Structure 1
Amino acid sequence: MMPSLFIAHGAPTLAIEKNEYTDALQDLAGRLKRPRAVVILSAHWESPVQEIGSADVYGTIHDFGGFPRELYEIQYPAPGDRLLAEETAALLRSAGVPVRFHPARGLDHGAWVVLRLMYPDADIPVVPLSVNPALAPEEQYAIGRALSPLRRRDILVIGSGGTVHNFAKMNMRAEPGRADEWAVLFEEWLREKLTAWDLPALYRYRELAPYAEWAVPRHGSEHFVPLLYAMGAADDERRAERLHLSFQLGSLSHAIWQFGAEPA
């Protein structure tokens, strides 16, 4: 049984940095059993209808601007898995979720930055999924729950986003590793509710969590919702553990959450 994971993908420069967070991602890959495939839901693929990538080999989308040239030269040609895409679609349809395939879309940086740090050889099949931040939290969790059977087949489900992600609150002059108090308070509320698997509170995080409007601005909730998808994928075990938390720019959180099974 594989766990499901929530992984913050941070800024695109994470792909060329070496720090405590990149070390944590590389260590995590080494502790997990090697997955047969990865199903990943990225904050940077939004769609009102649930979409599923079905390419044979994925292109690398450099969906950002103003960064060092070497970032635009990175390629991550991960193979697809059409049979797994079909199986994923069947699970979602059986849960009442309409789906459509997208055979041409590549991997955005929310997907390839994380995957490249964990599996740099791009030799594990990938099936990317879109997210829909307009859904209610209960609906996002339910979509993740529909994916739970994949974990029994050595398939790793990952939600990629950011639990605290607000450009307006980032401090470009912040000392490395320094965290704004409000961001820490939000993360600690989240830790308490996730480890208790307190779904009623989590579904109402905007009302109940301290500084929720700062941590998850309404125009940027797409970065938070992959957490709910990943959590739902472990509904059958309901175990949550925060494996890492660090910050850049004062409030951009780098969090790794594991749901479900223990690492091998």
Structure 2
Amino acid sequence: MNRQTLPGLFISHGSPMLALDPEQVGPALHRLSINLPQPVAIIVMSAHWESETLEVSTATRPETWHDFRGFPKELYDIRYPAPGAIELSERLLTRFADADIHANANSTRPRDHGVWMPLLHMYPDADIPVIEISLPMTGSAHDIYTIGQILAELRQEQILLIGSGSITHNLSELSWQKQHLDTPLWASKFRNYIVQKLQQQDFEAVLNWESLPHLERNHPTLEHLAPLFFAMGTGHRFSIVHSSFSMGTLGMDIYRFD
């Protein structure tokens, strides 16, 4: 069978409520999935699996983890029972070892909402194997970018690579009760700066995250921005799939790297 090349993606996965109230993002994810060749497997680096050393899920059927509190009961009833892919997981571990990157196998890690929530809208049948890899927060932005580069060739095997985080993520600034609010300049300027640099293929400006405008206001901690670095490593031709803000300041952008 001839395999087609898939892009790398950065997906802003938003609030867990996206699973029940898809807003604009759920339809955008669905449209994206039907316009792509169906993946033979999906690899996701999620903001919600932070680690010291890179880890690769080797579970054959990871549990659906509702790694949040205080939401409606129906959200906790959702399951995403996509299988793992042990042979592909072993290939990833070998690739990392060959690149002198230490990575551990993890057979017990459940699947967090940074993985299953966007995939619920893209591939609701949960019949495509999914492997989660961790976000090694002891590494630099360039290290995370390199992980994307190491896996980039897998796109040619019809394997979809996803960095799942958020283009802006400051929970203390969200207006939970009001969905349609004007976006403050500090959030829009941050998002627009990143888009401008990616369009100019000035990836270095984004990887030097300490210099990003209004960084601390948009990302008091780095874990939701870091999956963008992974996605950037998977391809150099950047395009915007979707752009919006939720609850005033939560950026819901989706980016594609070919």
Q: Which residue of 2 aligns with 1:152?
A: 156
Structure 2 letter corresponding to 1:224: L
Q: Deviations over 1:115-141 (max 9, x none)?
A: 111000100001100002332111110
Distance change (3 Å), C-alpha of 1:90 and 1:178:
same
Q: Residue 48 of structure 1 is aligned with which of 52, 60, 69?
A: 52
Instruction: Please tell me whether residue 124 in structure 1 is matched to residue 128 in structure 2.
Output: yes
Q: Which residue of 2 aligns with 1:245?
A: 243
Q: Residue 88 of structure 2 is aligned with which of 84, 88, 110?
A: 84
Distance change (3 Å), C-alpha of 1:125 and 1:6:
same
Q: Which residue of 2 aligns with 1:258?
A: 256
Count, aligned residues: 254
Q: Is there any run of 5+ residues in structure 1 with no aligned partner, and where?
A: none
Q: Which residue of 2 aligns with 1:230?
A: 231
Say which SS state the counterpart of residue 188 (structure 1) adopts: helix
Shift of 1:98: 0.5
The CA distance in 2 between the partners of 1:91 and 1:189, in whole Å, is 33
Q: Which residue of 1 aligns with 2:39?
A: 35
Structure 2 letter corresponding to 1:228: F
The CA distance in 2 between the partners of 1:95 and 1:174, in whole Å, is 47
Say which SS state the counterpart of residue 241 (structure 2) adopts: strand
Shift of 1:174: 4.2
Preserved contact between residue 56 and residue 131 of structure 2 (Cα < 8 Å): yes
Instruction: Please tell me whether residue 64 in structure 1 is matched to residue 62 in structure 2.
Output: no
Preserved contact between residue 177 and residue 246 of structure 1 (Cα < 8 Å): no
The CA distance in 2 between the partners of 1:172 and 1:60, in whole Å, is 25
Q: Residue 173 of structure 2 is aligned with which of 169, 174, 180?
A: 169
Shift of 1:180: 1.8
Say which SS state the counterpart of residue 111 (structure 1) adopts: helix
Say which SS state the counterpart of residue 176 (structure 2) adopts: coil
- TM-score between the two structures when normalised by the length of structure 2: 0.95
Preserved contact between residue 155 and residue 161 of structure 2 (Cα < 8 Å): yes
Between 174-183 and 148-157, report the one with greater CA deviation: 174-183
Runs of 4+ in 1 over 4 A off after TM superposition: none
Preserved contact between residue 132 and residue 222 of structure 1 (Cα < 8 Å): no
Preserved contact between residue 48 and residue 132 of structure 1 (Cα < 8 Å): yes
Distance change (3 Å), C-alpha of 1:177 and 1:257:
farther
Say which SS state the counterpart of residue 39 (structure 2) adopts: coil
Structure 2 letter corresponding to 1:141: Y
The CA distance in 1 between the partners of 2:234 and 2:257, in whole Å, is 8
Q: Is there any run of 5+ residues in structure 2 with no aligned partner, and where?
A: none
Q: Residue 211 of structure 1 is aligned with which of 207, 210, 214?
A: 214
Aligned-residue Cα RMSD (Å) equals 1.2
Q: Deviations over 1:194-253 (max 9, x none)?
A: 12221221122321x221111121xx211100000011022xxx1011111111111101
- TM-score between the two structures when normalised by the length of structure 1: 0.93
Distance change (3 Å), C-alpha of 1:175 and 1:127:
closer
The CA distance in 1 between the partners of 2:63 and 2:227, in whole Å, is 22
Instruction: Please tell me whether residue 187 in structure 1 is matched to residue 191 in structure 2.
Output: yes
Q: Deviations over 1:126-169 (max 9, x none)?
A: 11000023321111101111111111111000000011001122
The CA distance in 2 between the partners of 1:132 and 1:195, in whole Å, is 27
Structure 1 letter corresponding to 2:30: Q
The CA distance in 1 between the partners of 2:242 and 2:129, in whole Å, is 26
Shift of 1:173: 4.9
Say which SS state the counterpart of residue 66 (structure 1) adopts: coil
